[in-house]
Amino acid sequence: MEQEQDPISFETSPDRYRHWRLELRGDGARLIWDVQESRPLRPGYVLKLNSYDLGVDIELADAVQRLRFEHPEVRAVAIVSGKERVFSAGANIHMLASSSHAFKVNFCKFTNETRLAIEDACARSGQRYLAACGGVTAGGGYELAAACDEILLVDDGSSAVSLPEVPLLGVLPGTGGLTRLVDKRSVRRDHADIFCTTAEGIKGQRAVDWRLVDAIAPKSRFDGLVGERLARLAAASPPKSGPGLVLVPLNLKKSADGYAWSLVDVAIDRAARTATLRLRGPAGPPPADAAALRREGCDNWMLRLFRELDDAICRLRFNEEEIGLWLIKTEGDADLVAAHDAAMQRLATSDWLAREVILLAARTLRRLDVTARSLFALAEPGSCFAGSILEAALAADRTYALDDPARPVRLALSPLNFGALPMGHGVTRLQTRLPRRSEEIAALAKRVETGEPVRFDARAATEAGLVTIAADEIDYDDEVRLAVEERTSLSPDALTGMEASLRFPGAESMGAKIFGRLSAWQNWIFQRPNAVGDHGALKCYGKPERPSFDWKRT
């Protein structure tokens, strides 16, 4: 069954949720995880024991996003189960076993991006999360719990937390589970070793002693403990003023060869295995103040652009597995882009909504960074690679620019290029693009800070390191054509490993480790017969026969 080949939509809303319910209680909220067994994303498996598939996680991602924009009054969120004696059994094994390799890896990537969005909300949006594990918490269920500020476990003699993927399935716990254990929760590596190879998991006081959970309570006192800890988290989070912003549906038009939103278009060339993403700059001036930003609502240019780009990235990842090269183009006024960026940066110092818009842009760009597709940016006449849109070019593996004095190309910097939109390992894309040039970057930042326009034509952008190759009107088309043809002729597996290694130079963060290891280890393990062969652990799960392993190690 090739369920992942059918088009997948990433848009939903609370009135369409099948598996989650959101309850608002003053400055607290509860996300109730109650998976409907008979309503998987694709037919062919049953979502027992609060196990989840991509459809469940799409709803969770939407809920986390809406809490940030629509409910600024919420300062703490408890994730609780709607089922007795189980929090979650994790990712649905039969869904994984029946999915393609690309789907499995992208599924792991999406779930980790959702968990990172929760951690981003905790760290930057003043919405703290607590996992109330009122029963068995296994695999991806524990991984979600580990993304929260606190994990509470019921102490009933049978409920345990576990990452059983290695002993049961012959795969890794999404790599995020392993990394959060040792990097975030500071679990000792020997304890983590036992934990990750013990299928039945760890329960009770030992789970607390090993830092796998933060507190336990018997069933009679568990709800009280959850309420107390949730109130404490809410009290420690600063309040926000002003109403929330309802996220209206995106206006998407689909065709056989692409997608079109209001500010983002995607044109797919299946024969060439390329997709051209065109991003449009703003048509008018930026909002003058917070009141104007709220009047614009979801029509705010930056919010609209990055919501649409985020949707485009997700759809291309899952629905277009063979489209290996994305060509990023822009059109508009670079000065207007820089002006919008400057206005949003200024408003963000005092307005939570402006901050949330910038944080959404940052998350979308980080999703682009870790996408396992080649990225080329093309700066051509009429383009507007400036500020926040320039970040897409800085995320690209290469940038080509047309150097034609009769039709000049202009790139520009804005305040957002200097820290507001960091990559997953915490540094800016300028710092990644220009290693050992910190003094030059600091000088550029100072110029932008004073309000001086910082613009580059194609040749100057190449000299400054913002463009890979600038070619004149005679050579440009051939230069790009040959680069595209060469790139799409190379091994996708080799390119994925190469790109993941080159995109994140320097020190690692927890997020950078998760996605770097996801690209390497999950790509390898998910193709090995030990996991997915006819007698592999994934295929034998739930059957009477034991898996058959090739015992050789590399």
pLDDT at residue 482, rounded to an integer: 98
Residue with tokens 């919501």: 307
Beta bridge partners of 375: 326
pLDDT digits 0-9 by tens, 405-440: 999 999 999 999 999 999 999 999 999 999 989 999
Kindly report the backbone phi and psi dihedral angles of residue 490, in degrees, each rounded to the nearest multiple of 5, phi listed first. Answer: -90, 160
- The domain ranges of the chain are 13-235, 253-498
Distances (CA, A) of 78 to 181, 245, 262: 20, 22, 35
Question: CB within 8 A of 533, min separation 6: which ones?
Answer: 539, 548
Written as one string, the DSSP assignment of 341-375 is HHHHHHHHTT-HHHHHHHHHHHHHHHHHHT-SSEE
pLDDT at residue 3, rounded to an integer: 39
Determine contact, residues 379/385, Cβ cutoff 8 Å.
yes
pLDDT digits 0-9 by tens, 127-141: 999 999 999 999 999
pLDDT digits 0-9 by tens, 331-358: 999 999 999 999 999 999 999 999 999 9
Q: What is the mean pLDDT of residues 465-486?
A: 97
Class of the CATH-defined domain 13-235: alpha beta
13-235 and 253-498: same fold?
Answer: yes
Q: What is the mean pLDDT of residues 499-506?
A: 92
Kindly report the backbone phi and psi dihedral angles of residue 76, in degrees, each rounded to the nearest multiple of 5, phi listed first. Answer: -150, 140
Q: What is the number of other CB atoms lying within 10 angstroms of the CB of residue 115?
A: 28
pLDDT digits 0-9 by tens, 199-215: 999 999 999 999 999 99
Higher pLDDT, 546 or 68: 68
pLDDT at residue 135, rounded to an integer: 98
pLDDT at residue 5, rounded to an integer: 54
Q: Using CA atoms, how far apart are residues 109 and 23, in angstroms rounded to an integer?
A: 28
Burial string for 409-427 (b: 16+ CB within 10 Å, else e) reads bbbbbbbbbbebbbbbbeb
CATH for the stretch 253-498 = 3.90.226.10
Distances (CA, A) of 285 to 247, 281, 296, 339, 417: 22, 11, 12, 8, 20
- Answer whether residue 218 shows pLDDT above 90: yes
The closest alpha carbon to 103, from 166, 194, 42, 164, belongs to 42
